[in-house]
Amino acid sequence: MIKLNARKYLYVIIVIALLISLHGLGILNPVESLISRWFKPIARIFYSAGSSVSQTYGAKTSKPNLAEELIRARADVNRLTAENAQLKFLQDENLILRKQLNFLDKNTAHYLMANIISRGDLTGGAQDSQTVAIDKGLNDGLFPGLPVVSSESFGTSSRGVVIGKIISVKDNLAEACLITNKNCKLAVSILGKNITSGIAHGEMGLTVKMEFIPQTENIKIGDLAATSGLEQYIARGLVVGRVGNVIKENNEVWQSATIEPQINLDNLSIVAVLLP
């Protein structure tokens, strides 16, 4: 049995050797060409199927990679957006502080910087009450009646712009009424050839109304209104705004004027309280 198996292996080896020899001599070229032509369509089918499988597998494996890259890209965009917003906030805050300090250093030696921390009164009143709460109070030397200012440019100079005054204080908090508050009254003058004085208070939370102006006074739209200095603790010359309208009745003893604030009070974030 073992001899028979050995003889079969010998025959196989002889046949393989013979085929190799015939191939080397080129005798099998016609037969090889014929076999090649028979199997070429089948080979193409297998090749196309293999390529399709490879492409499908590659596409499926690349989708998770693209999804991960997209997630990373979105995270980078969100991070950069947040950083840009923070830088813009710091830039705006720095500009506000520069304006404040530019006015304060030139015009007064006593002031206290404060942040607006909420709008509405300290007891939780309505947000449209035209009052703000700041983070300085009795412990910092504040008391009712002190003026609260921002700063704004007029022409080539920077003057203090009064935005309200302190009306109540707690240990570490204070409440200030804005000049557009109907209960916030200021002694104001309209600057011109003759200085015209009157009492100003907020009107409808949008503008300031100046009353008790003598009929003989000639005031015009665009005239500058500022504090008159007739009120305790509030210095003369703090800008309130400009005259936007004049109300004059011939049969009345007094005339009045609407004063438009020079800054947007809704955008305030940092203020200064002027100390005596």
Q: What CATH number corresponds to the domain at position 192?
A: 2.40.10.350
Out of 34-48, 77-91, 204-218, the most confident range is: 204-218
Domain coverage including residue 248 = 108-274
Domain boundary among 51, 82, 107: 107
List the one residue out of 203, 184, 181 whose CA is nearest residue 259: 203
Cβ 185 vs Cβ 201: under 8 Å: yes
Share of the chain above pLDDT 90, in %: 28
Query: Residue 147 is which amino acid?
Result: P
Whether pLDDT at 158 is above 50:
no
Distance CA 96, CA 158 (A): 13
- Secondary structure (3-state) at 238: coil
Residues 134, 22, single domain; the answer is no
Looking at residues 130-151, what average pLDDT do you find?
A: 92
Whether pLDDT at 156 is above 60:
no
Residues 57, 123, single domain; the answer is no
Residues 145, 64, single domain; the answer is no
Domain boundary among 87, 107, 127: 107
Buried b (16+ CB within 10 A) or exposed e, 24-56: eeeeeeeeeeeeeeeeeeeeeeeeeeeeeeeee
Cβ 201 vs Cβ 241: under 8 Å: no
Q: Per the structure, how many domains does the chain have?
A: 2
Residues 88, 151, single domain; the answer is no
Q: How many residues does the chain have?
A: 276
Residues 232, 177, single domain; the answer is yes
Q: What is the pLDDT of residue 269?
A: 87
pTM: predicted TM-score of the whole model, two decimal places: 0.61
Cβ 186 vs Cβ 199: under 8 Å: yes
Q: What is the pLDDT of residue 244?
A: 93
Domain boundary among 107, 135, 150: 107
Residues 100, 126, single domain; the answer is no
Residues 42, 74, single domain; the answer is yes
pLDDT in tens, 178-198: 999 999 999 998 887 567 889
Whether pLDDT at 245 is above 70:
yes
Residues 192, 247, single domain; the answer is yes
Identify the residue with better confidence: 155 or 25: 25
Residues 178, 68, single domain; the answer is no
